[in-house]
Structure formats: C-alpha cells, structure tokens
Amino acid sequence: MSKKRLYIEDNQELLDAARTVFESGGHEMTEAHTGEDGLAIYKEGRFDLIIVDLMMETVDAGIIFAKAIQALGNTTPAYILSSVGEEAAGGLSPQELGLEGAYQKPMAPLELLKLVP
C-alpha cells in the first residue's frame, strides 16, 4: 500500500529529488511551495509523513506551519529539513513544535527513506 508524503519546500529541485526517492519506493508525494499552501493541503488530506523546510516565504514559515498543525492536533510524523539546522528555530526544539526531529539539507536519499514510517 502506498504511503502519502507531504513535502513543503520552496526549492523545486529538492522537491523533484525527493519525489524521485519517494516514488522509487512506491510512495506518493504531494508538494507545497509555501507554509500557507502546505497548511491548506494538510487540512484537505491525510498523510503518513510531513517534511517542512524551515525558511521559505519568510524566515519562520516552517515554524509557523509546525505550530499550526500542532494546534490542530497533528499526529502525523513531521520533520523540519533546513539548510541552517535547528538553531534557526528560534531556540525551540523540534519536539516543542510538535515535530519528530530536524535534519540538515541536503539529505541523502537513503536517509530520507529512513523517515518513512
């Protein structure tokens, strides 16, 4: 059975690479280019994994998205993926944001697949 992934990222090349990795593993991937679009898509569907970039249309777009899904009672495993690491999360740990963890970009394909529940 195919798993559904939501990846929120403003870099199309990274989205395309992740799609290749996920689809090669038999998974579906839905993409969004902004935190706001990602939140709208999140509200419409059910996903098995969420990956969100930390900095997109604004420096804290990923944090805003994480706080929003946390307020909605999210139970889907969600991760921040960022080129600047956890430090840019305003001193908040991923767990304080309701996330499973944070990873540094770029992420190796095998590491990305390890996130798959």
pLDDT tens, position by position, 28-49: 999 999 999 999 999 998 999 9
Residue from 92, 113, 56, 109 nearest 101 by CA: 92
Mean per-residue pLDDT for 71-97? Answer: 76
**What is the reported pLDDT for 78?**
93
Which residues, at least 6 apart from 65, have a Cβ–Cβ distance to it below 8 Å? 8, 35, 38, 39, 52
Give 3 or 32, the one with higher predicted confidence: 32
- Integer Cα distance of 89 and 111 in angstroms: 22
Q: Does position 5 have pLDDT exceeding 90, yes or no? A: yes
Find the length of the chain: 117
Architecture of domain 4-112: 3-Layer(aba) Sandwich (3.40)
**What is the reported pLDDT for 106?**
75
Mean per-residue pLDDT for 103-110? Answer: 76
Per-domain boundaries in the chain: 4-112
Give 90 or 56, the one with higher predicted confidence: 56
